[in-house]
Amino acid sequence: MARLGLASVSTVKPHLALLRGVNVGGNKQVGMSDLRKWMEALGFTGAQTLLQSGNIVFAAEEESCSDLERRLEVEAKKQLGLTSDFHVRTLAEWEDLILYNPFCEQARSDPSHLVAVVLKNSVAPSLVLKLQAAIKGREVLRVKGRTAYVYYPDGIGTSRLTAAVIDRHLQTRGTARNWNTVLKLGSFARGE
């Protein structure tokens, strides 16, 4: 918390924002220092970034994550010329995402092949079942709330269970982070 300067302000809470598809394959290029400055200019405090893939930890007044997502998407397009989905979670939601991971063994033994897909919306169980039935390889997928957990035992790069397939079957958009990054983001948001 100290990193975000939240010690004396109870209505300001740490949040995480994950951008979809930035700095991947030459698309949607944006500097992390530019993102930090932009977040501060929008009035968010303690903006920090982790890695180059669009991970921002910041402090915000209590408002819904969906309202924050809409605001950030509109302002990013207007001020940065960046069209990207923002997926916002509170620190408490992020800690739940970690806690309720259904692949604990894989998280310990093979974290680089485990991803959390942070979804825009919760999905109906029937859609999850249809996606699970459509998986052609050895990938295993579980969904809890607004997170899809996917274990790719044979690697992610050659899998046919792509982001587009997941989005289409679950009828919402998401952005994936491998388990090592998920844990780093949690520590980062806690100021550790």
Structure tokens belonging to residue 126: 């029937």
6 and 18 housed in the same domain: yes
Q: Which of 93, 118, 143 marks a domain boundary?
A: 93
Q: What pLDDT, on a 0 to 100 scale, did the predictor assign at position 172?
A: 97
Tell me, what's the pLDDT at 9?
46
Rounded-to-integer distance, Cα 59 and Cα 15, Å: 6
pLDDT band (50, 70, 90) for residue 8: very low
Q: What is the CATH number of the domain that holds 18?
A: 3.30.70.1280
pLDDT in tens, 15-31: 999 998 765 555 677 77
Domain that holds residue 185: 95-189
Q: What is the amino acid identity at position 116?
A: A
- Which of 38, 67, 93 terminates a domain? The answer is 93
The per-residue pLDDT for 104 is 97
pTM for this prediction: 0.89
Distance CA 67, CA 190 (A): 23
Residue 91 CA: distances (Å) to CA of 25, 29, 127, 165: 29, 26, 27, 28
Total count of residues recorded for the chain: 192
Q: Are residues 35 and 107 in the same domain?
A: no
The number of domains in the chain is: 2
Same domain, 180 and 134: yes
